[in-house]
Copies of this chain bind each other. A is one copy, B any other.
Amino acid sequence: MADGGEFGGAAAKVDEARLWQRHVDMAKLGGTPRGGVRRLALDTNDIAARRLLADWARPYGWQVSMDAIGNLFIRRPGTDNDAEPVLSGSHTDTQPSGGRFDGIYGVLAAFEAMEAIEAAGIRTRRPIETVVWTCEEGGARFPMGTMGSGVFVGRTPLADARAVADYDGVTVGAALDAARTALADLPERPLGFPIAGFVECHIEQGPILEEKGLTIGVVTGIQGARRFRVDVEGADAHAGTTPRARRRDALSAAVAMVSALEALFHDDPGDTVRFTVGRFVVTPNAPAVVPGHVSFTIDFRHPDEAVLTKLGDQVEPICKAHARACTVTVTQTSRGKPITFLDPVPSAVEKAAAGLGLPYLRMNSGAGHDAGPLQLAGPSGMIFVPCEHGISHAEAENATPADLAAGARVLAEALVELAGR
């Protein structure tokens, strides 16, 4: 080994208290009265999170830059700065009533790992970079998830992402221009560049690690997902005078559709299918008016591509079969195939967890993550840590300082391994 000591030297410098305090500080940006966080993609709090991270990087002299989709990079140089860097990070945006760990943990763990590697005096061959990917949470503000990582790897054209509008009609382009103005001092990084690999720390967002009493999930892949928007068009009518036979009640039809879909997507006792109607908007939404329009979303995930195809293809015919007197339009808004993470990343994570003596499990991810699109740019993988009762996308989201630090230790060692000494 070239420099900086033996295995475990970086992990030993991870500072649990510092890492926890940074979660506390970040949770103030968009903090809610019930202890959660509402920090929507590219809103003022999301921009403030980038600023705070850049401030923390300054004492180290690490270059901070931002690309055209708002992804932020903090670069610790290597001994060979022409070598492709190893990236680690996640996202700073949250769900509308989200928690203190989803996304931000991956960013803070990456930064903590870089600090620990620095404190250990380790010189790596490849540069290591902490990255914030823009707008991971699809539908929380903008109806496009893993946007920043998707644009970075070329999955999504920049112009397509900029054209996406939030529910108030504000486009990503307009929000990016405002972010760029607020962070005008950060150099512009060209969009997309070759990488040697990507590792993302994240809370599990599910119950498995907690139930099994394990500390680390070595993530081997991400289940596939299909998302749909269903628009039901009926006719507004007076609730007191309009007989049922003359109604074109969009809510009544939408309820029938959701009931029928729930029956189809029910797979007890396996309970592997994930089917969610998370957004359901009624127009005009007045108590004395038969609703003339309903728009709802379907989020369907499964680890098996064949099941994604078979069940997902029935969404439209089932909606049409229950449209009653209304008309219905079904639009598939996104489709992601199941992803398998490729070595050397999962093996580097497993080696680090084993080497540090942490109890771990090789496991699949139920949630989508930036590591999914990143797999298109280079070998990627993830490190999970437990979260309380498996709760996430909720203000009650919780994790322990010890588990968060354990994940950062595994990350620090995996990054040293991947970047080379």
Contact = CB atoms under 8 A, between A and B. Distances in A.
Contact of A97 (B140, B145, B284, B395): B284
A338 B275 CA distance: 44
A368 B240 contact: yes
A297 B301 contact: no
A356 interface: no
B394 A236 contact: yes
B205 A284 contact: no
Interface stretch (A12-20, A126-134, A176-184, A253-261): A253-261
B246 A207 contact: yes
Contact of A277 (B145, B223, B251, B292): B251
Interface string A378-400: 00000000000011111110000
Interface string A84-106: 00000000000111000000000
Contacts of A145: 288
Interface residues of A, number: 73
A137 B289 CA distance: 10
A140 B240 contact: no
Contacts of A297: 287
A39 B145 CA distance: 38
A331 interface: no
A47 to B, nearest CB: 21
Interface in A190-227: 204-207, 223, 225, 227
A395 B299 contact: no
Contacts of A362: none
Interface stretch (A155-163, A266-274, A402-410): A266-274
B393 A288 contact: yes
A58 interface: no
Nearest to A267: B244
Contact of A237 (B143, B246, B289, B391): B391
Given A95-B288, A239-B274, A252-B262, 20 more contacts: A95-B284, A205-B240, A236-B394, A240-B299, A240-B301, A240-B366, A241-B365, A241-B366, A241-B390, A244-B271, A255-B262, A276-B288, A277-B291, A278-B287, A278-B288, A279-B282, A279-B285, A286-B393, A288-B393, A290-B393
Interface of A: 95-97, 137-140, 143, 145, 204-207, 223, 225, 227, 235-246, 249, 251-252, 255-256, 258-259, 262, 266, 268, 271, 273-292, 297, 299, 301, 365-368, 390-396
